[in-house]
Amino acid sequence: MSSVIESIETLLVDLPTIRPHKLSMTTMAGQTMVIVRMRHSDGVEGLGEGTTIGGLAYGPESPESIKCNIDAYLAPLLIGQPADNLNALRARMARHTRGNMIAKSALETALLDARGKRLGLSVADLLGGARHGHLPVLWTLASGDTDKDIDEAFQRLDDRRHCGFKLKIGARDLDEDVRHVAAIKAALGNRASVRVDVNQAWDEATAVRGIAALQDAGIELIEQAIPAREHAGLVRLANRFRVPMLADEAVADARDGLDLASRGFSGAFALKIAKSGGPVAALELAHLAQTAGIGLYGGTLLEGTLGTAASLHAWSTLGELAWGTEMFGPLLLEDDIVAEPLRYHAFGVDLPAGPGLGIALDEDKLAHYSRK
C-alpha cells in the first residue's frame, strides 16, 4: 500500500539579512520564510519552502497568507491522499484553489522531497535527471550606496564567489540610477557582467530613455523595466534595443510565456519556482522558452536554503541556462536553519547530493528563528 499524506505543518521563520537590501518597491532588513514539514504514513518527512519579498510589497502573497492558506485550504486537500502521484495532487490543488502559487510551490517541493527520500532519488532525478552538478550564481548589489556596492563587488570577485552582478534600480530618479549603474560598470570593467532589475518601476517612455543610457554604459541585460502586464510594451522594448530584455514578473508560467513568444518577444525569461507554483510548472515554462528560442535564467524570490535547493534541482535539469542563475538567497541571510549549508565556490553553487532535496534541518536553529 502506497504511503498517504498524514500531516502538514507550516512555520514562519524570520532571519535577518546581512545588510539592507534595497529594491524598487521595498527595503528588506530580514527575510521571512514559510517552512513546510509534510509527514507521510511511512514515516518519511518532506520539506518545502514558500518565500516572497517584503511582506506584500512584491506580490499578492505574504508570508502570513502563505501559511494561513496552506493551513486552512491546501493542506486539507492533500491530507489523506496517496502521497506519490504528484500529477494528481497538483491537479487537485489547481482544481480547488486559485492563485497562491508560492504556497503551492512550497507544498510541491515537500511532495518531491518526500518522494525522493522514499525512492532514494534526488529531486533532480524525479524531474528527469540533472545535466549539471555546479551552477553559476550572480550576486545582487542593492545596498543603495554606489561605493559600498563597488567594494562588495570586488570582494565577491576576489573570493571567486560571483562574477556577475545585478543592480536593483527604479526607486530613485532615473538620472541618479543611470549614474549609479554606470559608475559600477566602469569600476568593474570587463571583470564582471553587470545587469539591472527595475522591478516594473518605469513607464515605457522612461524605459526607452533609461535603457538607451544603460545600453551605452555596457549593461548586459535589462530585467522587467515596465509593469508585468504590459506584454506588448515589453515586446516593443525587446525589438527596439540591442541589449536583451529579461521578463520576470511578466512571465509566471507557460501561458504567459506563450503570450510573450507569440507576440514576438526575444530575450530571456526568469524562471522561479515560487511564481510558477512549483518546480514542475517552472520547467514547463523553461521548455516552452527553449522551443521558442528564448534564453533562460534561474531566478529567486530570495528563498533560504530549502527553496534555493529545490530551484537548483529544477534548473540542473536544463541543458543550457544562457544567463546563469541568481540562486544566492542563503548568502543574503545572516544565519540558516539547515544542518549543512549549500556549497558556494568557483562563481557558483553545487547541486546538493543525496535523496530528495539533499537538505536536512537544524532543529535548534529552526526552533530559535521560528515565530512564536
Shortest distance, position 307 Cβ to ligand MUC, whole Å? 12
Site string for Mg ion, 142-181 (x = CB under 5 A): ----------------------------------------
Among 326, 327, 333, 342, binds ligand MUC (CB under 6 A): 326
Put the strands of the sheet holding 245-247 in their side by side order: 139-141, 164-168, 193-197, 222-223, 245-247, 268-271, 295-298
Residue with cell 545585478: 166
* Axis crossing angle, helix 101-119 with helix 305-315, rounded to the nearest 10: 70
Retrieve residue 246's grid coordinates. Answer: 529579461
Q: Is 248 in the site for ligand MUC (CB under 6 A)?
A: yes
* Axis crossing angle, helix 279-292 with helix 254-262, rounded to the nearest 10: 20
Task: Output phi, psi for 87, to 5 deg.
Answer: -60, -45
Burial tier of 266 (Cβ tally within 10 Å: 0-12, 13-18, 19+): middle
Q: Is 196 in the site for ligand MUC (CB under 6 A)?
A: no
Q: Is 22 annotated in the active site? A: no
Stretch that binds ligand MUC, among 5-13, 76-84, 170-178, 294-302 (CB under 6 A): 294-302
Give the length of the chain.
372
Q: Is 168 annotated in the active site? A: yes
Q: Which amino acid is at 30?
A: G
Shortest distance, position 225 Cβ to ligand MUC, whole Å? 12
Residues 37-56 that bind ligand MUC (CB under 6 A): 53
Shortest distance, position 142 Cβ to ligand MUC, whole Å? 6
d(CA 299, CA 312): 10
Whose Cβ is closer to Mg ion: residue 45's or residue 223's? 223
Site for Mg ion, rule CB under 5 A: 197, 223, 248
For binding to ligand MUC (CB under 6 A), which residues are involved? Answer: 53, 140, 142, 168, 197, 199, 248, 299-302, 326
Annotated catalytic residues are 168, 326
